[in-house]
Amino acid sequence: MAQFFKVALFAALVALCTAFPVEYLAELDYALADQHQHEQEPYNHHPKYSFNYGVKDTHTGDVKHHSEERDGDVVKGQYSLLEPDGTMRIVDYSADNHNGFNAVVTKRGHSVHPVHSYH
């Protein structure tokens, strides 16, 4: 009997919640939105930044570097990484409104491939 009472009470609560007028909730939502207005941050007409980082993990062999700078609409940078064959891939790039994105990829070093012997 107690189980039936719990199920009936739960069903009544679900019915009550679904019968709640949705229009009232919408008005409440608009009222709360009006109270929390945020000021828009000013637009930076001449953005400028630079960053530089690198990783040299001898345990995993993860070796890479990245640097970039921006002055207005011109972005220039370089990144490099150690390839599995032992060469270093270097990418110099630039981007602006006139020339678009341009990248020059070079490799340094000599490829080293392991010699496998099968018996």
Give me 95's structure tokens. Answer: 């981007």
Can you give the pTM of this predicted structure? 0.58
In terms of Cα–Cα distance, which of 68, 71, 119, 75 is closest to 96? 75
pLDDT tens string 21-68: 655 555 555 555 556 566 777 777 889 999 999 999 989 989 999 999
* Sheet containing strand 62-71, strands side by side: 48-57, 62-71, 74-82, 88-96, 100-108
Kindly tell me the burial class for residue 37, based on how many C-beta atoms sit within 10 Å of its own C-beta (0-12, 13-18, 19 or more). exposed
